[in-house]
Amino acid sequence: MNRKKSLGDARLVENFLDMMSAERGASINTLAAYRRDLLDFHGFLAGCGAEAKHATRDHIKRYLASLSTSGAAGSSQARRLSALRQFFGFLYAEGICPDDPTNAVDAPKRGRTLPKVLSREDMDSLTKAAGQRAEKSEEGARLLCVVEMLYASGLRVSELATLPLAAVRNLEGVLLVKGKGGKERLAPLNAHARKAISDYLAVRETFLPKSGRRRHAEKFLFPSRSAECHLTRRRLHQMLKALALEAGLDPSKLSPHVLRHAFATHLVEGGADLRSVQTMLGHADIATTQIYTHVAKDRLAATVASAHPLARRKGTKVQGN
């Protein structure tokens, strides 16, 4: 495909993203994901000598097949197809495409994958290690604040990284969080998290840049000298993996999202109703929240299998009522 066609497809992608931002309030992270997926598809089309406005169902099916061959998970293939459905729906509505080539294309099957979850004992080890760090340095106080907030509130990493300083002023046990699509929700803060925030605020000045970006960085709870002027998602991942080693945990088991999963799973295990957990997590569909009931049941079954005296007897099954 020639350069003129490539530029045309790139322009269509940007027009689509402008619409998603202006009309549907898509977040920066969502737009970035759409851009990556759509440009990857256009790269595939380029290899076929085709362009978006003339794409066919066969192109879509061959693209999905290429993803499968490359080892992409079913969930990744389904996400790419979802992005293509949105994109071609836009092109069809704008009269750019004569039809929608994603129609009648089945989504790849996705197996149920349960999220990684830390046990309560793991969380105790993690907060203890963070607490020891907090006694030694300003960075430690910040890290303890991050851990306590993620576990107490179930925040997404992007929500925590960009949380404004104003969100923790006049703390009354909750945070007002702006989540996906600009939707606001209340997230809980327990006493441990509130104390960690208070201790961190006493040393927060240390992390403000001294350059002209200081004014922009001042609005964030977690300012930094990065180009974004706040802690980045990548940096938060690095901080938690280093902490995992100190806590004697497998670093591959720990990330900001794993703490969000721990928050939700431990609530469900403790008897919280799904509607409340859905609200606190900011899930649009309760079906997304229901995964935590499976996690809790699986963990309970594993506990019974390993700890119940009857379960340890060969050939004996624990009978239900």
Catalytic residues: 156, 180, 257, 260, 283, 292
| Secondary structure class of 269 (helix, strand, coil) | helix
For CA atoms 211, 216, 220, 226, give the dihedral sign. negative
- Report how far apart the first and last C-alpha atoms of the chain are (Å, whole number): 67
| Secondary structure class of 164 (helix, strand, coil) | strand
User: Any idea of the CA torsion for 142, 144, 149, 150, to the nearest 10 degrees?
Assistant: 110
User: How many residues can be counted in the chain?
Assistant: 321
Q: What is the DSSP string of 47-104?
A: HHT--GGG--HHHHHHHHHHHHHTT--HHHHHHHHHHHHHHHHHHHHTTSSSS-TTTT
Residue 185 pairs in a beta bridge with 177
Q: Provide the b/e sequence for 290-318 (b: ≥16 CB within 10 Å).
A: ebbeebbeebeeeeeeeeeeeeeeeeeee
- Tell the residue number behind the tokens 């935590």, with chain if given: 292
- Tell the residue number behind the tokens 């890290």, with chain if given: 143
d(CA 58, CA 69): 16
Residue 187 pairs in a beta bridge with 175
**Strand intervals (E) in the chain:** 174-178, 184-188
8 Å CB contact between 33 and 75: no
Provide the residue type at 18 as one letter: D
